[in-house]
Amino acid sequence: MSDFILNDARLRIEIFTFKASLDKSLPSYMVAMSIESQEGAVFLCRRGYLKNSKGKVPELSRLMIKEAAQYLVDEVEKSKVITLPLLKEKMAHKINRLSAKYKYQLLKGALKESDEELFQKKARARVSVLDKIIKDISKLSFGDAINGQVYLDGLACQNRAKVYSEVFASIEDYEVMPLPNRVRIAGRLINEYDDYNDLKLLKKNGTKGYLFYYYSLGYGLTTHRLSKGSFIASSGASKMLFSWSSSQLSSIVSHAFCVDKETTRHLLNEAQLPVPQGRSFEPRETASAIEYANLIGYPVVCKPLNGSKGEGVVVNIKSDESLSKAFNALKRSVYKDSDVIVEKFVKGKDYRIVVVGDEVKGALCRELASVEGDGVHSTVELMLAKHALRMRNPHFIERSSFIDEDNAFGNIEDHFVDLERVPEKGERVVFGTSCNLSQGADSVDVLDELHPTIKEAAVKAVKCIPGLRYCGVDMLLEDHTKPVGVAAAAIIELNAKAAIGNCEYPVFGHAREVVKAVFGTAAKDNNMPLNEFSNKSLKVKSIIRGSLKNESYLAWANKTAKELGVEVEKVSSAKGQITLLLKGELKPTAMMATRLIVGPSDSRSTSVKTIPIAGE
């Protein structure tokens, strides 16, 4: 098929990263290429088996495959035509560029820089899966290429959904180029965030380390960062401490009380707030827990006493057998030594209501992950498209919604999803098993719809814990627009370290400035006067200290600043210390200042002090 020409062509490439396995017979990744044109379509997959010592695809290989795939997709988008010579030419060109870009990583400095042939050989080996797919294309007849044929490792197979469904349980992460169109579920359009490309440079938990920093600089405060997540904001003698999602609004003791769910239930019950009936058991007391469940009546919920992020929570348990399974599942998890709470299941959806000081500043409904049918694509295809879009949310950077089976507890009663079925247009298919965002649930902003009595109950609950001024109140609500008492409602947990990015970056609905409210309240509690917040361009001086390779660090700083659109200038460079001037818009400058604590791999920054320059 060397002479084929496909007009008005579109190329899509998907990269599947599989869960770690030291079994060499199992693939570590898979790449799928779809070609669609006026003439027809073809779908080809190849699995890769390259693994590191942990049984995963090496990060360098994954990165190079992604760059090569994106390049091919972009080049086809420009030309709108696909020919075999074009694919071969573009692939060879990209391999040359990759070999130059990553030569030190490929050879680890072991050989001479002049051995370009060896660089290219190493680079080609890293992206060989794409080469193999192009060779598969060369073997096709024109009829195969336009009749929707599906190939896996060079062999014809049944259909695309079949390929996806057979590997689905092994997927750890998934990327697709180009991105699918934004999906709509239950009339809501999934959110897009224009700061994703910049924030992804901060990597996992980046928004936690950046958001408080953003407001510090916006208010003109000096910051002293001591780690990726912790820093001090100061104005004269006044200081505030921040660490990831925590601030001085929540004391250590108040956090300890919130972690102990049994203590929390007791305090809320004393305040006559709605809480589900329940009690705790030791891990070995399965029989007693079953007896208690029969006493209060099924269905019940089972969860670890000191759990977090929804891990280990099993809801809607309807039988002794299922409760026993839940206890056994906990014994396989990180909570194997934790006491276990069994409580009455309350009908309703899961909500996170964020209280700052004496006010509710954010409210999210955490819905089970779902997709909406279009009458064309299978459930598994819709799920993958949804995942690709969800991972563009800054709050979920490097947080795959594909999770280990033993941690995906959720609703274990009669849960089955036919991955290969094509749902009808408008049909909603729920595939999530947990309402926790860390386990793939969807966040939907409902602040404007929340009934005042629910807000009052949330604020009252927080006041039950002395020293607690910032909290995520988790509730089960039958209807969030109706008063407490009219519709079923129960407070199930207080979280003193609620993730600050949830309401700033919901999957659906309006973003809320919760972090700004936390910052302002913390400043007021600490008697720290704040200037008027400004998001205009600014200039700051950053002093970086640590074990630094100065030349390497400066090169990295210039490269990172260029990616963010920030001007950077070296002021001084000495052993163990570099001083830089940064200038730009507030958001990218705050991101750059946040990144300075990381630096290149051969340097270790121990502190970064950033001082706004007045008059800029």
Residue 107 reports pLDDT greater than 80? no
CA distance linking residue 535 with residue 219, whole number of Å: 9
Average pLDDT over residues 135-146: 78
| 28-71 confidence digits (pLDDT tens) | 999 999 998 877 889 999 999 999 999 999 999 999 999 999 99
Which H helix or E strand runs over 341? strand 340-344
CA distance linking residue 325 with residue 333, whole number of Å: 13
| 203-216 confidence digits (pLDDT tens) | 777 788 889 999 99
Least confident of 98-112, 162-176, 218-232: 98-112
Query: What is the DSSP track for 536-575?
Result: S-EEEEEEEEEE--HHHHHHHHHHHHHHHT-EEEEEEEET
Residue 77 lies in a domain: yes
Question: Tell me, what's the pLDDT at 26?
Answer: 95
CA distance linking residue 527 with residue 135, whole number of Å: 68
Question: Tell me, what's the pLDDT at 147?
Answer: 76
CA distance linking residue 270 with residue 253, whole number of Å: 19
Residue 78 lies in a domain: yes
Question: Tell me, what's the pLDDT at 1?
Answer: 53
Residue 22 lies in a domain: yes
Residue 161 lies in a domain: yes
CB-based contacts of 477, cutoff 8 Å, min separation 6: 348, 349, 351, 454, 487, 488, 489
- What residues pair up with 362 in beta bridges, in sequence order? 354
Residue 104 lies in a domain: yes
The phi-psi region of residue 511 (left if phi > 0; otherwise alpha if psi is between -120 and 50; otherwise beta) is: beta
Residue 410 reports pLDDT greater than 50? no
Residue 404 reports pLDDT greater than 60? no
3-class secondary structure, 317: strand
CA distance linking residue 256 with residue 247, whole number of Å: 15
8 A C-beta contact, residue 531 and residue 424: no
pTM here is: 0.87
Question: Tell me, what's the pLDDT at 403?
Answer: 53
Domain boundary among 133, 160, 178: 178
Of the candidates 487, 493, 549, which has an alpha carbon nearest to the alpha carbon of residue 311?
A: 493
CA distance linking residue 446 with residue 515, whole number of Å: 17
User: What are the φ and ψ backbone dihedral angles of 121, each rounded to 5 degrees?
Assistant: -65, -45
Question: Tell me, what's the pLDDT at 110?
Answer: 47
- Is the link from the previous residue into 452 a cis peptide, with omega within 30 of 0? no
pLDDT confidence band for 100 (50 / 70 / 90) = confident
| 530-577 confidence digits (pLDDT tens) | 999 998 899 999 999 999 999 999 999 999 999 899 999 999 999 999
Residue 412 reports pLDDT greater than 60? no
Residue 406 reports pLDDT greater than 60? no
3-class secondary structure, 495: strand
pLDDT confidence band for 125 (50 / 70 / 90) = very high
Query: What is the DSSP track for 84-110?
Result: HHHHHHHHHHHHHHHHHHTHHHHHTT-
CA distance linking residue 254 with residue 249, whole number of Å: 10
The boundaries of the domain holding residue 165 are: 5-178
Residue 146 reports pLDDT greater than 90? no
pLDDT confidence band for 224 (50 / 70 / 90) = very high
Residue 428 lies in a domain: yes
Residue 39 lies in a domain: yes
CA distance linking residue 104 with residue 602, whole number of Å: 14
3-class secondary structure, 57: coil
Count of alpha carbons within 13 Å of 127, Cβ hemisphere only? Answer: 29
Residue 144 reports pLDDT greater than 80? no
| 166-209 confidence digits (pLDDT tens) | 998 889 889 999 999 998 888 899 999 998 988 887 877 778 88
Question: Tell me, what's the pLDDT at 408?
Answer: 37
8 A C-beta contact, residue 9 and residue 37: yes
Question: Tell me, what's the pLDDT at 148?
Answer: 81
Beta strands in 265-305 (DSSP E): 278-281, 300-304
Residue 575 lies in a domain: no
CB-based contacts of 441, cutoff 8 Å, min separation 6: 310, 350, 366, 367, 368, 369, 432, 434, 435
Question: Tell me, what's the pLDDT at 551?
Answer: 94
CA distance linking residue 585 with residue 569, whole number of Å: 16
| 501-541 confidence digits (pLDDT tens) | 999 999 999 999 999 999 999 999 999 999 999 988 999 99
Domain boundary among 125, 146, 178: 178
Question: Tell me, what's the pLDDT at 330?
Answer: 87
Domain boundary among 150, 178, 206: 178
The phi-psi region of residue 8 (left if phi > 0; otherwise alpha if psi is between -120 and 50; otherwise beta) is: left
- In sign, the C-alpha dihedral spanning 363, 366, 372, 377 is positive
Average pLDDT over residues 312-336: 88
pLDDT confidence band for 2 (50 / 70 / 90) = low
CA distance linking residue 193 with residue 507, whole number of Å: 10
User: What are the φ and ψ backbone dihedral angles of 30, each rounded to 5 degrees?
Assistant: -145, 140
CA distance linking residue 159 with residue 381, whole number of Å: 12
pLDDT confidence band for 415 (50 / 70 / 90) = low
Number of domains in the chain: 2
Question: Tell me, what's the pLDDT at 409?
Answer: 37
8 A C-beta contact, residue 67 and residue 15: no
CB-based contacts of 317, cutoff 8 Å, min separation 6: 293, 298, 299, 300, 301, 302, 323, 326, 345, 412, 413
8 A C-beta contact, residue 476 and residue 492: yes
